[in-house]
Amino acid sequence: LAVSSNLHPSGFDEIMPKTLATATVDRLLHHAHVVVTQGDSFRLSQATSGEGVKPLR
Residues 6+ away with beta carbon under 8 Å from 10: none
Per-residue pLDDT tens digits for 24-54: 999 988 999 988 888 888 888 888 887 766 6
What residue spans define the domains of the chain? Answer: 9-49
Residue 40: predicted pLDDT: 81
CA 51 to each of CA 11, 43, 44, 47, 56: distance values in angstroms, whole numbers, following the listed order: 34, 9, 10, 6, 14
Residue 52: predicted pLDDT: 66
SS3 per-residue string spanning the chain? CCCCCCCCHHHHHHCCCHHHHHHHHHHHHCCCCCCCCCCCCHHHHHHHHCCCCCCCC
pTM for this structure? 0.53
Q: In which band, very low, low, confident or very high, does the pLDDT at 9 lie, cut at 50, 70 and 90?
A: confident
